Amino acid sequence: MKNYLNFESDIKNLESELEKLKDPYNQGGLSEVDTNKISKTQDELDKKLKEIYSSLDPWQTTMVARHEDRPKSKFFIDNLFEDFISLAGDRYYGEDKSVLTGFAKFNGQSVLVIGQEKGENLETRIERNFGMMRPEGYRKTIRLMELADKFNIPIISFIDTPGAYPGVGAEERGQAEAIAKSIECCMKLKVPTLAIVIGEGGSGGAIALASSSKVIMLENAIYSVISPEGCATILWRDPKKMLDAAKAMKLSARDLLELKVIDEIIPEPLGGAHRDRNLILSNVRESISKNLNAYKEMSAEEILDQRKNKFLKIGRNKGFISNPESLSTLETKKNNLEQFYSKNKKIFFLTAAFLLLIAFLVTIFL
């Protein structure tokens, strides 16, 4: 049974009509298929899908990103990679089932795959904690990312989470520290890292794994520091103002690409990724292949510098720095006082020596 969003009522009616036309034997004695009417209805459906999905507002985009039929990380891992070997445990506390991790092959190349998994039905969603990672999940990914870095293996992450788990137990086990360590680990890796936001990229739970060489989003995915409902509750004390919050937060792929927070948008099938899984698989495969190939000629230091420069540039293109391309990765620019001191170092030393000599002579003769 298909699930429809509240703005898809016209699409639902057209698809129901189309199903009846394709299966006439269940409809009041009809005995043949009306191909002309089917073609006309299909054209009307395609037109309606294009009309609706070409003008989604930020809140509608959020609803599409959260669609329960949307392909999850496990779907991409199962269909994009070969010889996937799942690895579990953080070696400190336990296993976090909200994140799938393991080594696999992509086009014959070894890769580390990390996928935040929400689950496909109620039972698996509870088991996966709705994709909300706990500290042991982040520590597991840190362990494996460091292992991949040691053996020069690229890392591919699928981001799909409303945020890190806010439970008491998670806080007691160091949730904030685990997220901070994960971001630190991502930033210092010397292998290519690709983060693909396939649905919801929420809060620090997403940023912990998306501090990557390339941050890529599906067309109808979202990526934000907080959920629209949470933002509306904080700013307006009213969670119903989520549309205003979603507009202000610039959480859609188009807005984030314009702000240069992300690097690429992967186009989705008309009506969302869940309407044509084969097409979205093909698009994601093409993007991964293209980006991995781009890093093959780069050295480890160049990969590290590229990632650091990328994050240093965010938010500076319309700010106080006139040329963000000249940002350095590791060196800090000297301020005016330091520059003045370095140029006149000899004069300072001679002056200080002269003053000390005068002081010495004064103390002797007086």
Q: Name the least confident of 12-21, 54-63, 196-205.
A: 12-21
Mean pLDDT: which of 148-162, 229-243, 300-314, 337-351 is highest? 148-162
Question: Once rounded to an integer, what is the mean pLDDT over residues 73-86?
Answer: 96
Pairing of strands 82-86, 214-218: unpaired
pLDDT at 351: 82
pTM value is: 0.83
pLDDT at 317: 66
Question: Once rounded to an integer, what is the mean pLDDT over residues 96-106?
Answer: 96
Does residue 27 have a pLDDT over 60?
A: no
Confidence of residue 352 (pLDDT cuts 50, 70, 90): confident
Return mean pLDDT, the chain: 88
User: Which residue is it, tokens 């089917």?
Assistant: 38
Does residue 175 have a pLDDT over 70?
A: yes
Question: Once rounded to an integer, what is the mean pLDDT over residues 285-307?
Answer: 94
The per-residue pLDDT for range 246-283, each reduced to its tens digit, is 999 999 999 999 999 999 999 999 899 999 999 999 99
Percent of the chain surpassing pLDDT 90: 64
Pairing of strands 99-106, 109-116: antiparallel
User: 3-state SS of the chain?
Assistant: CCCCCCCCHHHHHHHHHHHHHHCHHHCCCCCCCCHHHHHHHHHHHHHHHHHHHCCCCHHHHHHHHCCCCCCCHHHHHHHHCEEEEECCCCCCCCCCCCEEEEEEEECCEEEEEEEECCCCCHHHHHHCHHHCCCHHHHHHHHHHHHHHHHCCCCEEEEEEECCCCCCHHHHHCCHHHHHHHHHHHHHHCCCCEEEEEEEEEEHHHHHHHHCCCEEEEECCCEEECCCHHHHHHHHHCCHHHHHHHHHHHCCEHHHHHHCCCCCEEECCCCCCHHHCHHHHHHHHHHHHHHHHHHCCCCCHHHHHHHHHHHHHHCCCCCCCCCCHHHCCCCCCCCCHHHHHHHHCHHHHHHHHHHHHHHHHHHHHHC
